């Protein structure tokens, strides 16, 4: 059976009517909504996953920054402690030297008195 | 103070999927591409839901974004003309319930050969029943330009229909 041939509408209002009829909305594919919702779910999962990764990276960065800052602070404190220790050692050495010199001075004074 | 509109995304998809899909199909002439565009448009709507203020705003937004996305897709693929339509129809044929009369199909084919601006104006006019002012707002163009596109598009489509549909009958 031959397919039914379309009639040519008059090229006036009839044409526009035919055009309007030809342009009715087509039904969407039955699985379009399912695909949209599926992609939406996938995107949300991906975004959630990305957020988790972002937070993990942020936490790791904060930890690393804390460790570096702590290390620097510890080094500074250690240097201060060592400097203080060295200073105390020098002061101790100066006190010992001072005592030795005083002692020497006393002996020399006593020796001079004996000689006189 | 007006109450804030709280749309349900699934309901919006249900109500407007046919409109979005039809617009994309008629703009691109490619059923598969139209499905992709429709999915992208609704996903974009989901991201912009907080900015949608009413049902009318949602429809306006969907039409505008669908037309823009279809135009972008066409520019990317540089798709034109009847040949592609025929190829697509063969490869991604419509389901039985989507098939329309032979004349409607031929008119749609001819529509796909029109320049993009004329095609979008005609699709919005005859599929969506929009006024030239509403079309102008949708495609962000002056009303005079839209009216001109409508007139020229219709004239060109009439001319093509006169030639090609007559040939169709003569060839039978």
User: Token pair of A21, please?
Assistant: 């009829």
Does residue A86 or residue B158 have the better pLDDT?
Answer: A86
pLDDT given at position A11: 46
Reported ipTM: 0.76
Q: Which residues, at least 6 apart from A21, have a Cβ–Cβ distance to it below 8 Å? A: B104
Cross-chain Cβ contact A32/B25 below 8 Å: no
For residue A2, the chain B residues in CB contact (below 8 A) are 172
Cross-chain Cβ contact B39/A11 below 8 Å: no
Q: Which residues, at least 6 apart from A38, have a Cβ–Cβ distance to it below 8 Å? A: none
Residues B27-81 pLDDT 10s: 998 899 999 999 999 999 999 998 888 999 999 999 999 999 999 998 887 644 4
Asked whether the predicted pLDDT for residue B85 surpasses 80, the reply is no
Asked whether the predicted pLDDT for residue A9 surpasses 70, the reply is no
Q: How far is B107 from chain A (nearest CA, A)?
A: 7
Of B108, B106, B145, B121, which is closest to residue B34 (Cα–Cα)? Answer: B108
The span from the first CA to the last CA of chain B, in angstroms, equals: 65
pLDDT interval class at A106 (50, 70, 90) = very high
- The reply to whether A113 touches chain B by the CB within 8 Å rule is no
Cross-chain Cβ contact B154/A32 below 8 Å: no
């Amino acid at each position: 059976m031959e397919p039914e041939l379309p009639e040519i509408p008059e090229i006036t209002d009839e044409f526009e009517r035919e055009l309007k009829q030809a342009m009715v909305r087509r039904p969407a594919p039955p699985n379009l909504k399912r695909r949209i919702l599926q992609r939406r779910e996938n995107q949300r999962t991906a975004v959630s996953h990305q957020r988790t990764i972002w937070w993990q990276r942020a936490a790791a960065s904060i930890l690393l920054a804390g460790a570096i800052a702590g290390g620097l602070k510890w080094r500074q404190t250690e240097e201060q402690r060592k400097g203080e220790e060295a200073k105390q050692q020098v002061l101790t050495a100066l006190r010992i030297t001072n005592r030795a010199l005083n002692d020497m001075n006393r002996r020399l004074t006593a020796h001079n008195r004996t000689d006189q | 103070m007006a109450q804030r509109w709280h749309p349900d995304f699934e309901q919006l998809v249900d109500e407007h999927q046919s409109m979005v899909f039809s617009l994309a199909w008629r703009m691109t002439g490619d059923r598969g591409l139209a499905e992709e565009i429709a999915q992208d448009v609704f996903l974009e709507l989901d991201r912009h839901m907080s900015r949608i203020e009413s049902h009318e705003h949602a429809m306006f937004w969907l039409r505008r974004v669908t037309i823009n996305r279809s135009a972008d897709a066409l520019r990317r693929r540089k798709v034109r003309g009847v040949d592609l339509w025929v190829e697509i129809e063969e490869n991604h044929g419509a389901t039985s319930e989507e098939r329309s009369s032979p004349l409607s199909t031929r008119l749609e084919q001819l529509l796909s050969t029109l320049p993009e601006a004329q095609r979008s104006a005609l699709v919005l006019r005859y599929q969506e029943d929009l006024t030239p002012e509403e079309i102008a707002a949708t495609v962000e163009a002056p009303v005079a330009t839209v009216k001109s596109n409508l007139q020229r598009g219709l004239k060109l489509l009439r001319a093509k229909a006169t030639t090609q549909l007559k040939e169709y009958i003569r060839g039978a």
